[in-house]
């Protein structure tokens, strides 16, 4: 099937006011795994253009707080519980800015980051794994014990080793592929729940 940039989920997102079709992935994932609950403090890594931020803010509610960060500038939102930052999550300076914005450890860290695709399969997979590792490192710096981590990654032979590393740090890890994932995409999501704390996996 040919790639269709303006598919049913794209059109639905436009109708319902979401910035991207990816919003429906997070809605489905949260229905299944409840990674975000009312009152939670949530961080979205690589958050542009903001579809996941919108959903996270809805799920966390007025008593929660959502912080989104990306290398790109994210157009600000009107929601008072939603903060956007511009920065590089691989730097301690950026992590510290996120901590300051949250004012307390996070209950959930999200990463829907995709590499810039080159069309060279091995290179794209390698970059996807690298981004997922960066997200995991950031999550372990930001999460409170018992917190959750949701990350996108491409299917590959390296997935097992990466999953094993997550399992050392979280009490449960599930693999899943939301309905809104594009046909032909090799992406999946790892849902890690109940962070063991900063000493785990060392």
User: What amino acid positions are annotated as catalytic residues?
Assistant: 152
Find the helix or strand (DSSP H, E) in which 40 lies: none
Q: Which of 69, 73, 161, 65 is nearest to 111 (CA)?
A: 69
The per-type count for the chain, helices as H runs and strands as E runs, is: 6, 7
State how far the Cα of 131 lies from the Cα of 139, in Å rounded to an integer. Answer: 12
Q: What are phi and psi for residue 131, nearest 5 degrees?
A: -65, -40
Alpha helical stretches, state H, the chain: 8-16, 23-33, 51-60, 92-102, 121-142, 159-167
By the 8 A CB rule, do 29 and 95 touch? no
Q: What are phi and psi for residue 122, nearest 5 degrees?
A: -60, -40
Dihedral over Cα of 167, 169, 88, 77: its sign: positive
Contacts of residue 11, defined as CB under 8 A and 6 or more positions apart, other chains included, come to: none
């Amino acid at each position: 099937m040919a790639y269709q940039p303006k598919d049913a989920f794209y059109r639905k997102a436009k109708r319902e006011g979401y910035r991207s079709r990816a919003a429906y992935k997070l809605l489905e994932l949260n229905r299944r795994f409840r990674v975000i609950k009312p009152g939670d403090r949530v961080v979205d890594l690589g958050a542009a253009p903001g579809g996941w931020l919108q959903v996270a803010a809805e799920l966390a509610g007025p008593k929660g707080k959502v912080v989104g960060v990306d290398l790109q500038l994210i157009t600000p939102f009107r929601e008072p519980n939603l903060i956007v930052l511009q920065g590089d999550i691989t730097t301690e300076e950026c992590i510290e800015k996120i901590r300051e914005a949250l004012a307390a450890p996070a209950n959930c860290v999200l990463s829907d980051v995709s590499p810039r695709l080159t069309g060279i399969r091995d290179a794209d997979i390698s970059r996807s794994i690298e981004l997922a590792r960066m997200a995991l490192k950031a999550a372990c710096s930001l999460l409170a014990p018992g917190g959750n981590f949701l990350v996108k990654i491409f299917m590959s032979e390296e997935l097992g080793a990466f999953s094993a590393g997550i399992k050392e740090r979280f009490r449960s890890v599930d693999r899943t592929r939301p309905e809104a994932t594009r046909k032909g995409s090799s992406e999946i999501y790892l849902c890690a729940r109940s962070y063991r704390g900063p000493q785990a996996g060392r």
